[in-house]
Chains A and B, each alone.
Chain A
């Protein structure tokens, strides 16, 4: 087989692609290791704290944090997998629709992130080791949340909106 077609060295390309695949697999593994190591540690700490203090509020607060971590971990794992394995072999209309959905800023599945943030908020409120008032915690969460959302939207506008607009434009042009 000709290993150099159209000026592309196939042997080199294949080796780069394989190394990219294995790097991604290693990254996923590392992410899972961190997730599966930290989660039980936090569960044990929460149980120990609950047994020692017998404080039901703190126990529920700890449980809220654990659930929040689980949602974030599962969501980001799915998210990173989806972005790294875009299927270019779908029929063009399907591929464009999938791309437009992928780059949409607000999606139904983002409700899971909102639930995770609410669980984190509940965890902070119920945690007895925090001395801040309920109002202060809500203000803190609100400020951090709004600030993060603004940063995220600016990033989306600059990086992903043109891609979504182009996918939608091409899709509309095909089906018209």
Chain B
């Protein structure tokens, strides 16, 4: 298959994933567009190195996360994780017992988003992948750390969020 056809196939099958990752990191549509374009450029540049050792979606997530971490269009200190209240895997971030009703969920959403924005850029990357529904194994493949390390980090983030949302320090 020609490089161009392969690229088109990957973008058409994974465009939504890439767009969601870009939205996680940028609230501004212009920045989302810039990051989206940069991810596509990096997919093109890295396509020759794709040997099929991992699934295409994991490979795409790697390119998207790596691009977001090195995104030149915005200072990384200003990076904000934008959580969609309807995100499919939102409940994975905090325990369901905290979110026992939709109303409570909405009330706590603002607070949660504020806390998520205070996370380190790496924790934001981990959470964004979790929100995408990736397994611990897949996240470890994307980030390049062990599965147990991913679990520890995510557990730590969730613990911090839980404490803060329950009104602790």
Contact = CB atoms under 8 A, between A and B. Distances in A.
Interface of A: 1-2, 5-8, 10, 13-14, 17-18, 85-96, 99, 166-167, 170, 173-175
Contacts of B69: 92, 96, 170
A5 B62 contact: no
Interface in B117-132: 120-122, 125
Interface of B: 4, 7-8, 11-12, 15, 18-19, 22, 29, 32-33, 36-37, 40-46, 48-50, 59, 62-63, 65-67, 69-70, 76, 120-122, 125, 141-145
List the 4 shortest-distance A-B pairs measured between CB atoms, nearest first: A91-B144, A93-B144, A88-B42, A89-B46
Task: Indicate the member of B8, B122, B142 with the most A CB atoms within 10 Å.
Answer: B122
15 contacts: A5-B11, A6-B15, A6-B33, A8-B37, A10-B8, A14-B8, A17-B41, A18-B4, A86-B45, A87-B46, A88-B45, A89-B49, A90-B66, A95-B144, A173-B122
B11 A10 contact: yes
Contact of B143 (A13, A99, A174): A174
Contacts of B8: 1, 10, 14
A23 B127 CA distance: 39
A92 B41 contact: no
B107 to A, nearest CB: 31
B70 A7 contact: no
A6 B59 contact: no
Contacts of A88: 42-43, 45-46, 62-63, 66-67
Nearest to A21: B44
Contacts of A10: 8, 11, 40
Contacts of B76: 166
Nearest to A89: B46
Contact of B62 (A7, A17, A86, A90): A90
Contact of A92 (B4, B49, B66): B66
Contacts of A91: 62, 141-144
B144 A90 contact: yes
A168 B154 CA distance: 21
A89 B144 contact: no
